[in-house]
A and B are shown apart, each in its own frame.
Chain A
Amino acid sequence: MLFTSFRFLVFLLALFAGYFLLPKRVRWMWLLLGSAFFYLCTGLKYCLFLLASILSAWAFGLACGRLDRRARAYDAEEHSREEKRAFRAALDKKRRLAAALVIVFNLGVLAVLKYADFVLANVAAAVRLFVPSFRIPSLGLLLPLGISFYTFMAVGYCVDVYRGVTEAERDPFKLALFLSFFPHITQGPIDRYDALSPQLFEGHGFDFDRVQRGLCRMLWGFFQKLVVADRLAILVDHVFDAPGSFSGLYLAFAVVCYAVQIYADFAGYMDIALGAGRVLGIELAENFDAPYLSSGIPEYWRRWHITLGAWFRDYLFYPIQRSAPMKKLNRALQKRRSRAFASLVTTSAALAVVWFATGLWHGASWHYIAWGVYYGVLIILSTWTKPLADRVVGKLRIDRGTSGWRMFCVLRTFALVLVGYVLFRAANVAQAAEIFGRIVTRFLPSNNAPGVSLGLDMADLKAALLGTAVIFIADMLKFHKVDVWKLFRGLPLVIRWAVLYAAIAAVLVYGVYGPDYNAASFIYFQF
């Protein structure tokens, strides 16, 4: 059930009505029912995988809680310090084993379903170098909707329980609601149990102002998705389907359009999801914070898909850096060189793993891996060259506080992001190389194939550009911490309603519908 479908609006209306009519203490059960219905619409077989993930995480939580209680009970009894330490060590070993099992199980299911065919295809390609007739048939495994997201949330929950960051949830239905909550199960945000669970189970009253804010945020999401993203998708798909027909200039324009499309698509989805949550009184984690206004790549990744970056930071980057071999390497390098050098080496090693994993998480294809590695290289390079860059900027007496310098940094970052998008959007690495090649060697429009078009007429292009300008202004306000809602509420009532009607009309009139409209999937559904 897509967020932009009529069915979803009907579902939402029924869910909201039921939520506020039912007694507070059972509202979370209503949300669970609604979320189960939402996910069941994707097919019963998908639910089995989600169920397995929920049950494994719940069982792990119970086991962990039991071990902790045993440890506390033993501590309270009369034993020597050595005995207590030995007992605690034995229990820690069991906790570690249980954590390893549940993580391997959840990530294993994800790995097999998402990457088995990719691995087999690459093995077959490698063997074909020696045996040309060698073939491995595709397994064609199904990929449950949102598996990359709910698996990460389940693993995050288990690790948090293991670390003692959150208490284990004893009620399997409550954990089921957390993992299957309909606004975040298909595309995130990748929420944390300790932050979300109190809100999920509280049972919020009807607050007119909050409901208004939630609905307005949803409207903003629909605008971004239907007016901007789906319109630009026509152009982007048209150009990327046959990049060989286009000059470098047209290809570069299509890449810029893709940057706007994917942002309007993904951030639009988030606004619908977070808006729906807000209507219910549940604040999901923010995933975007004006990313295209970042002045450097590390900052960009703190503003783009924030919850994914935070997940990789807390559950992969930090554990790698804190692992025993890394600590040993760090100490050795500190002795031989310096703390700064040791930090650079160990951070770079951890970054390499994290960015390879980030690329792989986005899809079972080499161009996604190349995209991840590209960002890894950029961030590693920026950490190594920072002292040199600081010296150069100092020598040139550039004032980093000026708006001119900031604008240069923002444009430079956006250009680097665009290069990444070629790798990300291309069908494969070869097509990405073809696009780069044409941008460099066949830039002028005279290199377009005869009769070629961008796939959008001028009116649609103007509507998309106007929508892009509105998104840009909204991001500028967000970047400068302007409270848009407060600004909106300060307007005279007539103007407020005029703005709302204009927004609804824009979505209804300029939204990309029509005979070919198939409620285009959100880009991140595929991940």
Chain B
Amino acid sequence: MDRNEIFDRLNVVFRDVFDDSTITVGEDTTAADIDGWDSLMHITLISAVEDEFGVSFNMRDVVKMKNVGDMADLIENEA
């Protein structure tokens, strides 16, 4: 899967989960950049990304993920 395609699909997921159509994520986007992305929403986001890409993250990935770039790397490796 092309990395641009991953980010396009991630944008759709982020916009849906955080109910904000203006969100555009990039390699360096972190939780601090997106209103509402806190520990309470993190797992909801992770589950939505898993559903979208048909992948499964383990707990190591969940706690070590530092930005959307890390997320895209994992998707690339899993897909």
Contacts and interface: CB of A to CB of B under 8 A. Distances in A.
Contacts of A383: 40
Contacts of A340: 19
A313 B44 CA distance: 14
B79 to A, nearest CB: 19
B43 interface: yes
Interface string B14-47: 0011010000000000000000001111111001
B63 interface: yes
Contacts of B4: none
Q: Does more than half of chain A's interface fall in helix, strand or loop, or is it mixed?
A: helix
Contact of B43 (A163, A322, A339, A379): A322
A321 B41 CA distance: 11
Contacts of A321: 43
Interface string B51-79: 00000001110111000000000000000
Interface string A313-350: 11001110110000100100000000110010011000
A330 B47 contact: yes
A175 to B, nearest CB: 20
B63 A318 contact: yes
A75 to B, nearest CB: 17
Contacts of B60: 163-165
Contacts of A379: 40
A163 B16 contact: no
B43 A318 contact: yes
B52 to A, nearest CB: 11
B6 interface: no
A244 interface: no
A455 interface: no
Given A163-B59, A318-B62, A347 B47 contact: no
B12 interface: no
B44 A347 contact: yes
Nearest to B46: A322
A340 to B, nearest CB: 8
B39 A313 contact: yes
A163 B62 CA distance: 10
A462 B42 CA distance: 46
Given A163-B63, A330-B47, A339-B48, A317 B39 contact: yes
A298 interface: yes
Nearest to A348: B40
Contacts of A164: 58, 60
Contacts of A302: 38
A262 to B, nearest CB: 24
Interface string A340-370: 1001001100010000000000000000000
Contacts of A314: 63
B41 A343 contact: yes
Interface string A294-309: 0000100010000000
A318 B60 CA distance: 11
A23 to B, nearest CB: 35
B48 to A, nearest CB: 7
A158 to B, nearest CB: 13
A165 B17 CA distance: 27
B59 A347 contact: no
A322 B41 contact: no
Interface of A: 163-165, 298, 302, 313-314, 317-319, 321-322, 327, 330, 339-340, 343, 346-347, 351, 379, 383
Given A165-B63, A317-B39, A322-B43, 17 more contacts: A163-B59, A164-B60, A165-B64, A298-B38, A314-B63, A318-B42, A318-B43, A318-B62, A321-B43, A322-B59, A322-B62, A330-B47, A339-B48, A343-B44, A347-B43, A379-B40, A383-B40
15 contacts: A163-B59, A164-B58, A164-B60, A165-B64, A298-B38, A318-B42, A318-B43, A318-B62, A322-B43, A327-B47, A340-B19, A343-B44, A347-B40, A347-B44, A351-B40
